[in-house]
Structures are given as structure tokens and as C-alpha cells.
Amino acid sequence: MSERLYDIVKCGSMTKRSQNKKRFTPVNYKLRWFELTKHFLSYFDIENVEKNYKAVKLLRAMILSLTKRRERGRISIKGVRLVEPAVLNSDGDSSAPDGFSFQIGYCETDDQLTVRSLPQYTLYLVAANEKERTEWIAALRAVCEEKNTPKLYRYHPGLWLGKKWSCCKNTKRIAFGCQAATHWSETNNNPKQLPELKILINASV
């Protein structure tokens, strides 16, 4: 879907943690430029984009359209299952930068975008301050609520460290989330517990 620059709901720079979708890839953190619309959260190389945006806020559409950018990835809003704060560097990832982190759990494959409630991947982001994190979480939740897709009502605030979760120390990666979601509740979004959630609950007991 082609989107216009004036469709942007929110934009700005944040630090992104590598998702390590491939095995044996190292964890790293890189500063990226993010743009949120009602359909996608996209991220780009940071060079030139943030500088031009700050310099000419009133003409950002024209400036950004003329700026050579390289898109690094995008997440379909239809696939988002949770947007919650995260804890990266407390008994988790010592290489995580200082800042205010949050996570986006999402599905990626076309056949799972509207039916699967459990995220396939998690994107961890670090905002520069608490205000920015709060605004990003609010903006993401607002556009997600326009999509009639299932949401996850429990999550892990920490990281999977390869052998255990940093938050609850559970050694099963598919363990049901150890903390209740703060926004999308079970009663509002999962009135009928899906079979895959029942399996996870039984497996984590």
C-alpha cells in the first residue's frame, strides 16, 4: 500500500534492538528514524532525515520527500499484538543503551496477520526520555485499536536470554507471559480463549 508523507501519525528517532530472526546473529543497537501511519510502522537509516525534519518542521513533507532514504524495515499495524514497556538492562542485556524501552509484539506472515494472537516476533525500542516513550506507546495503541485483530493480554517485560526469561526466570521460551498487559485486557480482547493460548497456559504451569 502506497502511503503519503502527510499520513504520518508520529515520527522521530529511537534506538532499535536487533531482532535476530536468523540464528547466530549478534545483538546490536542502532539509531533509526521511525514513521508511524495507520497501516505501518516503518524505520529508516537516520542519516539526513532527522536533521532535515528538525530544521524545517513546517515543510517536513517536502523535505522528507526530497531526502534520499533507505527503508530498513516495516511492521504491519494489522499484525501488532501488544505494545508494552520493556526492561532490557536489568539482569537482561548489559549492552542495552540507557533510555526508556518498550516492546512491540507482532505477526509477520500474511496468513497470521488477522487470526494469530501470539506474536511471532518482538521489536524492542529505546526512546530518549519517558515523555517520548509514553507518546509512542499511546500513538501505536491508538492506530492498533482501529484494526479488528486479536491482542495479547499477558506478556514478558524482560528478554529471552537463550535459556530463560530475564523477568520471571522461566526456562520455557513459549511460557505464557508473566505480567498482565496494561492496556488490552483479556475480557475486552480475548472473550473466548484461543486454543493456542490454552496450550501455552498448560505448558507454563
- Within-domain flag for 172: no
What is the average pLDDT across 128-150? 91
- Within-domain flag for 178: no
| Range of the structural domain that residue 100 is part of | 5-152
- Within-domain flag for 98: yes
Query: pTM of this prediction?
Result: 0.79
As for how many domains the chain has, the answer is 1
Q: Considering only CA atoms, which of 51, 4, 10, 2 is closest in space to residue 142?
A: 10
The CATH number linked to 116 is: 2.30.29.30
> Which position has the grid cell 518498550?
102
| 109 neighbors 159 (Cβ within 8 angstroms) | no
- Within-domain flag for 121: yes
- Within-domain flag for 196: no
User: ∠ CA 86-181-102 to the nearest 5 degrees?
Assistant: 20
The least confident of 17-31, 42-56, 162-176 is 42-56
pLDDT greater than 50 at residue 6: yes
Cell of 65: 520527500
